Amino acid sequence: MLLKDIREYDGIFLACGWIDLRRSVDGLAHIVKQDFQMDPFGNYLFLFCNKRRNRLKGLCWDINGFCLKCHNEYLRHYAHHY
Q: Is residue 23 part of a domain?
A: yes
Residue 43's pLDDT band (cuts 50, 70, 90)? very high
Q: Which residue has the higher pLDDT, 46 or 69?
A: 46
pLDDT of residue 48: 94
Q: Is residue 82 part of a domain?
A: no
**Neighbour count for residue 33 (Cβ, 10 Å):** 13
CA atoms of 24 and 68, how far apart (whole Å): 9
Q: What are phi and psi of 46, to 5 degrees?
A: -110, 130
Mean pLDDT along residues 47-56:
88
Q: Is residue 3 part of a domain?
A: no
pLDDT tops 90 at residue 62: no
Strands (E), the chain: 11-14, 44-49, 56-62, 65-71
Could you list the residue range(s) of the whole structural domain that residue 59 is in? 8-77
When divided into structural domains, the chain yields a total of 1
- Smallest CA-to-CA distance from 58 within 2, 17, 16 is with 2
Q: Is residue 14 part of a domain?
A: yes
